Every structure is written in structure tokens, then in C-alpha cells.
Chain A
Amino acid sequence: MKKSALFAAICVPAFLAAAPLAAKTLVYCSEGSPENFYPGINTTGTSFDVNEHIYDNIVDFERGGTQVVPGLAEKWDISADGTVYTFHIRKNAKFHSNKNFKPTRNVNADDIVFMIERQWKEDNPFFKVTSPNHSYFTDMGMPALLKSVEKVDDYTVRITLNKPEAPFLSNLAMQFAGVQSKEYADAMLKAGTPEKIDQEPIGSGPFTLVQYQKDAIVRFKAFPEYWGGKAKIDDLVFSITPDASVRWAKLQKGECHVMPYPNPADLEAIKKDPNVTLMEQAGLNVGYLAYQTTKKPFDDVRVRKAFNMAMNKKAIVDAVFLGSGVPATNPIPPSMWSFNKSIKDDEYNPEAAKKLLAEAGYPNGLETDLWAMPVQRPYNPNARRIAELMQADLAKIGVKAEIKSFEWGEYRKRAQAGEHQMAQLGWTGDNGDPDNFLHTLLGCASAQSNSGSNIAKWCHKPFDDLVTKAKVVTNQAERTKLYEEAQKIFKEQAPWFTVAHAVQLKPVRKEVVDFKLSPFGRHTFYGVDIKGK
């Protein structure tokens, strides 16, 4: 039988000899298989979690924070006009090796230039290898932003931008900018197997890949020559376990040490378990039900208000989030600056709702649809169950809601085109700015586009004026005021039934030392230690 490339992981002979129990092994029950080992084309956190350990970036985020810290670049200079970045690469960063390739040199400027050109220049021989869709690179606006990338000397790289861009450094710290070995790429190109660099990865990160078996396991070993010092654990294992309840069962039994995305149903048991700590962090997200405000009956604010009063938000959040979420009043989460605390949520009052609905011309209730996402999202653990609860509540005021669902891609497309009457959706922020919620999700620009995120299709001039103005004003106090006012209008006009803000929860076994939650939802195990064994 031909041994497949997936199986033929890189074997470190020394590892085979070592008894498995003598080494410090940390097992992470991950939720799925990585797409491949090239972060430049990855789009899922699942893949990034894997590749983050193999590759290094020019600069990095500090562990557990958003601060940019040195990575492969020891230091950097930025020109006064903010368009020229000069990176000084550290000289002691070594690459891993595998059975096909032994590096002859350390990380240098060639590798950095290769990382960018592979995603940027279509004539780079690796541009199309594995996939030409470098989606984060494109999304971050890099093609338009970059003017030139030059190697000044072996350990200095100069990047020139077309215009100043404050978040540029943070962008380079994102996982898509992981640095691969140019020397390895050249060798594989010569051997006629360029795709190998994305299947049997060589990076300079804190862990080397030992074995990958799809849907089963990703096995790493600490890289002893890592420039930042060898990791405290010897072996890192991702045990791929798609089912959340099974992940919990494994964590409980000690078959793994850390798990992401616990099932809300298990939270109670997780909190009680003496061997497990439940780490939590407020998430930058919101889950909501959007009314299609350009369609009858939701073009009438009284109907929207009546619906908001008819649904028992607390009961819904309690039953579905089971402690992993807080009821949402405003479209932005409470931890975000400019959150308007003075706003009161619509009270749950079916009687009043019925009256208001009659006033709006529907004394006998009405019929509508109610869309539920087919997938679990960070901001919504079970859209169907929420829909069922909403349906039952609405039935009490005489509204007959039919639950509908589509394939996830189809769902988003149709909702963005406004085909629904009521649809659930949500949002996770990228950069922590209220603009990212209020303008993106509720502004007129995105209501009018067929691919915009404003699925309520709500274009309300007074609101839009406020959030558009807040976009150009630089004074944060002034912006806060504008956003606070906008939230007030939002509540009065009720284009959404705001459901909840989910909390990022991570059950971790007690023997794990110094695991830190990342505001970006990453899972990084360099720097983490494990007690006992």
C-alpha cells in the first residue's frame, strides 16, 4: 500500500525512542481538522491554532493580549510619515528539519520577502501552489497597501506602503503572515513537489509537526532550538474531537487538558468538577434577530416593538446559553467603549404586545417566517432552539411563525439579499471599535448593498448621520457621545431583537499552568506548562 502524504508525517527518530509517559504532554481537544499547513490561505481558527505553533511571524501579539511584541524581527523602525517600515531580523531563529529537508541557514530576510511575495505577486512560483486564494492578505487590503518589499541585507527588510496605515503592524502579527522557509520552498520546487511545503511544514516556531492524521490527531514536539527557548511542555497533541459533549467527557476523564467551545448543556457539570477550571472572558460579539424593515409587516415600528415585547429574552438566554451568555440590550457588547448604560431594554409583556399589534392593524395576529442559522456560532450556540422558543412566545400573541433554515452559505446570501421577514444572525468584532458594529451592521450603506451585513435592511437617516459622523471624528469622547445617541435611536426604532452577548468559555484542567485566554480566541500553548506526570 502506498503510504499517503497525510500519513507520512515528519518523523523525528529521537522521539520514537522516548517513552511517551516520561515526557510532559499536553493534550488539546480541538474541534476539527486543519485545512492544511499553510496559514496564508487558511480562514478558520481551527487551522490557525495548528499553524500558529509551527510558524513564526515578523511580529507577534503578546500572549493573552493585543499588544504587538517582537517576533522574528528583533526591532523595527517606522519612518516619520508612517509609510516605510524597516525590520531587523534576529539572527538566532532556526528552522525545523524533516526527512526531506535539512536547513543550512537560519531565518533571514529572504524568508520574510518570500512570505509576502507568495501572497502578493502572481508571478511568484508559489502564488498558486495549494491555492491562489490568500484571503486574509486580500481582506486586510495588503495588495493595495504595499508598494515594495526589499531585502536590504541578510537580516534587514524594508517594506514601503502606499499610504500610512496604523494597524499595519497588528496585521503582520496575524497568523496569515506566518513565515515559511524559502530554502525549503526552493528545494521542493526543484524536486517537482512544491506543494510539500504546505503538507510537511517547516517553520521556525516553538513546535515541530510530528504527525497529522485527518480527523484524528495532530502531534507536535517542542523544538529544542527555538529562539525563544524550548517550550515548557515536551509534546503537544491536538486530539480532534468535533462533538462538544465528547470533548467534555474526554476532559473530565483527563484524556485532554484544554478544550474549546464547551456545550452550554455541560456548563453546570464543568463548574462543579473539582479538577477543572472554567476560564471565561467577555466576548466581542452580539447575537440578534433582525426584522426585515422594508417588508410588511415589519416596516411598522409598532409591530417590531410588539414583537420585542412578546419574546421572553431572559428565558431564552437562560435556556439556550445556559450561563454562557448575557441578555443583550444594545447592539454593542457592554465591554466596549461608548456602551450606553442608561438604555432600558423593552420589557417582556405579552399583553401590551398584543395591544400594540392590534393598534398596528393586526388584531388577529399575523403569519411570518423566522430564520434560524443551521450552524453553531460563537454568538449563538443553538439558533434552532432559540427559534423554537421565540415561536412559542409569539404564538401567545397570535403570531404564527414558521421556522426556516438553509445551508449556511445560502443562508447568509439570502439574508443579505433581504429575502427573510425575521432572521437570526450575529457578529464578532475584528478590531474592538464600535464603528465595526454600529456602522457595519446598521448603516445605510450596508442596508442598500445586496452583500451588506445590515440584514434588517434598516436605513434610518438620523441614526446613519450619527454613525457616519463618528467615523471621521477623531476625538474619542465626542465619538462616545455620538454612539450613545445612536444606541438610543436604535432602541426606539427596534430594527433588531437583541438576543445575547456570548462569553468565551474554556474549560482547563487544574494541572495546566499559565494558559491564557486570547482576546482573539486563539489557543497558544507555547509558555504553558503542566504539573505532575
Chain B
Amino acid sequence: MTTETMEAPAVPVPTATPPHPLREFWGYFSANHGAVAGLVIIAVVLLVALLAPVIAPHDPNITDTAIALKPPFWQEGGSIAYPLGTDPIGRDILSRVMHGARLSLLIGIAVVALSIAIGTVLGLVAGFFRGLTEIFIMRLMDIILTLPSLLLAIVIVAVLGPGLMNAMLAVALVILPHYVRLARAAVITETSKDYVTAARVSGAGTTRLMFKEVLPNCTAPLIVQASLGISTAILDAAALGFLGLGAQPPSPEWGTMLADAREFVLRAWWVVTFPGLAILITVLAFNLLGDGLRDALDPKLKR
């Protein structure tokens, strides 16, 4: 992941009473225009996704070969009824992109949720038990990291069979090492701290220690990693879709739409341009948000 040092935003000079943590967070966060922009875009995409059946002008799967490959409305031959044009079998691209937002958000969130759940547990276990368990888990993660991630994802999809669910599983596995490493590192730093020793002395069990004491203390980096992870997940799933291994047609997943329309690239620029643009914008928004969250949440990087 990239690291970036942001300048300390112009927050009010600290007064005698420290501000509420959430308020302080918002203070840092809102000063970062990029992050706010990211948040707004995500809110819009989320809204479009939720309301897609209502606001989409057409059914995303209705085909009408009579209006195949209509250009967007501002080009000659286009019509306002199909603002971004139609695909090779006459489906409205705008409607498909809108419905695709549902899939992409679902992919991003589900993949990261799964990956965090498994990754945190593995990381906590590795960090707590050390020894052979740790070596085994961390070696496995090293192996996953050594192979090109897309190659690994493709092999997994080849094993499980193409499809949205399997693509999501594959991507979740591929991004797993980041969370494991993060959680393990956090555990190792946290366990050396006094409060954990104190809790241990007072007789807290390992599981309790892991989830009640240590985990809450490493949520900040996890949240940051999660929002960046969503963008990776969306990109990787779209790449799988592009190679014909992700969501299957007629599902309007953006990568799949690109793959499906690729042969028309020389003839109808709009069929490939808009789904790709949708990917770019959504991923960019999550990256902006992630950067903003990191700067606001991670005190170590705050200067």
C-alpha cells in the first residue's frame, strides 16, 4: 500500500478540554478535500446502487436488437432515451452501469469483510501463539504474496468454476495476507504494552485478551486498510470479469461488460468507455477515502 504524508490540517488550536474523539477525527478528515470528495462520490454511488431499479431508465437486461449500438445522445444517431448509448444487443448502457454499481459495491464490501474476518483471526492467532503456528501462517501468506495475485486468483477461479461468487472468494484470498500481516504486527506491538500485561496478570484468558483488549486497539489501521482494500477488490474482480472468469453475462458487472463489449471497441467507443470509467471513479473514490481515513485516524502518520 502506498503511504502518504499529509500536512497537518489547520485544526483549531487545542483548548483546555480535549475535543470528542469523533469530532477530532472529523476535524482532520473534513480538512482533506480529496477525502471528502471521495466520501461524496461513494455516497452517490451507494445511492445509485440502492435506487437503481427506480432511477435506471430501462431494465438492464431487456434486449432490443433494433436499437443495437446506438451512440450516446450527443452524437449523431443517439437519442436522449439512451443517454450513454446501447450495447451490441440493444441494452441501455446507463441502466447497466447503474445496476453494475450494486454488484461492484457488493463485491468490494463482501470481499473485504470476508478477508478482514479471516485475516484478522489468522493474524491474531499468529501474533499470540507465535512459534510454529506463526511460522506456518506467515509462510503461507508469503507464498500467496510471492505469486502474482491475478495469476493466483485465476487459478482459484479455474478450480471453482467461473462466476461472481467464486471470483469474490478468489479475490478475498488474494488480498488476505495484507490483513494477516497487519493484525499480527498490531498484536505484537500491543501485547508488549502495559495494559495487556495488566490484563494478563489479572487472569484474562487468551481469547478474551485477543478480542476484547487487543483487537479494538488495532481497528484504526484495519479500517484504513479496509477502505483501500475495497478498491483493490473492485479492481481485481473487474479484471477477472474482463478475462471472462468473473461475473457471467448478462450480469452487468463492469468488468464483464467490458469483456463482453471488447470486440466492438473499434466500432463503438462508448460500449467500453463507460463501464471502465465507472470502475475508475468508484475505485478512485475509495482510495481517496482510504487516504483521508489514514491521515485522520493513524496518529503515527500524523505530523
Contact = CB atoms under 8 A, between A and B. Distances in A.
A and B touch in the complex (CB under 8 A): yes
A248 B266 contact: yes
B68 interface: yes
B241 to A, nearest CB: 13
A244 B266 CA distance: 11
Contacts of B158: 407
Contact of A392 (B63, B161, B248, B262): B63
B142 interface: no
A440 interface: no
A265 B248 contact: no
Using C-beta atoms within 8 Å of the partner chain, give the interface range for chain A.
Answer: 20 to 34
Which of A248, A268, A392 has the most CB atoms of chain B within a 10 A radius of its CB? A392
Interface in B144-200: 158, 161-162
A240 to B, nearest CB: 18
A265 B267 contact: yes
A177 B66 CA distance: 49
A389 B89 contact: yes
B264 interface: yes
A268 B266 CA distance: 12
B248 A403 contact: yes
A249 B65 contact: no
A388 B96 CA distance: 14
Using C-beta atoms within 8 Å of the partner chain, give the interface range for chain B.
Answer: 20 to 34
B147 to A, nearest CB: 21
B55 interface: no
A384 B262 contact: no
A245 to B, nearest CB: 5
A249 B266 contact: yes
A245 B248 contact: no
B267 A269 contact: yes
A407 B157 CA distance: 11
Nearest to B161: A406
Contacts of A406: 161
Contacts of A249: 266
Interface string A491-521: 0000000000000000000000000000000
A392 B249 CA distance: 12
Contact of A374 (B66, B89, B244, B262): B244
Contacts of A392: 61-63
Contact of A319 (B62, B88, B262, B263): B88
A319 B266 contact: no
B263 A244 contact: yes
A405 interface: yes
B19 interface: no
Interface in A375-426: 384-385, 387-389, 391-392, 403, 405-407
A249 B266 CA distance: 8
A352 interface: no
Contact of A265 (B61, B161, B244, B263): B263
B89 A319 contact: yes
Interface string A315-328: 11011100000000
Contact of A388 (B63, B262, B267): B63
Interface string B250-280: 1000000000101111110000000000000
A245 B63 contact: no
A320 B89 CA distance: 8
A266 interface: yes
A64 to B, nearest CB: 29
Interface of B: 61-63, 65-66, 68, 88-90, 158, 161-162, 244, 248-250, 260, 262-267
The 8 closest A-B pairs by CB, nearest first: A319-B65, A392-B63, A315-B65, A388-B250, A265-B264, A263-B263, A265-B263, A384-B249
17 contacts: A249-B266, A265-B264, A265-B266, A316-B65, A318-B65, A319-B63, A319-B88, A374-B244, A384-B260, A385-B89, A388-B249, A388-B250, A389-B65, A389-B89, A403-B250, A405-B248, A406-B161
